[in-house]
Amino acid sequence: MTAASHVVLGLDPGSRVMGYAVVERLERGGFHYRECGTIAAPDRAPIAERLLELATGLREVIRDLGPTEAAMEDVFHQRNARSALVLGQARGATLLVVAERGLAVSSYPPATVKKTVCGNGRASKEQIQQMVTALARLKRPPATDAADALAVAICHCLHAATPPELLPTKRGAKPKGGRR
């Protein structure tokens, strides 16, 4: 790792399991895989205890792996209001830890992550696992939450190295700043 390197922490926050991935964003484009995994909290613990356990684990990951920036998926629509609230609490705790460490955070819609990594904005969890395994040259697929975090980190690396006019856009939308 060079002094000017960008070490990206990809995050997939949850209220019971948080996926994380750390990759080095290469200046010439692409990335170098470093690590991915999950941080788990006790299933039956109250939400406050679970969030504390997840935050403590995330602080350790940041301390040990030294990321310089972070990326996570935007919140998507939940059918269940309670699930959305709990996910929002987990995301808030995650953002707090990342902010404590002074890391800038980029967010990407789930469809953008899937399209960037798999070529399909509606890719399944299994497709994401297969693609990140191939892209990171892993011997076996990571756990689902770790694979999602790795997909976010890869997406961030690819978007950070790509001029805006070449990034995928919504069907029919024109890139900002381009000719109309």
Give the active site residues. Answer: 12, 73, 145
Bridge partners of 31, per DSSP, are: 25
CB 138 within 8 A of CB 132: yes
Please state, in angstroms and as integers, the Cα–Cα distance from residue 103 to each residue in 97, 98, 146, following that order. Answer: 9, 6, 20
Please state, in angstroms and as integers, the Cα–Cα distance from residue 128 to each residue in 11, 14, 48, 112, 168, following that order. Answer: 15, 18, 30, 12, 18
- Helix (H) or strand (E) segment spanning residue 146: helix 144-160
Q: What's the rounded Cα separation, in Å, for the pair 34 and 13?
A: 19
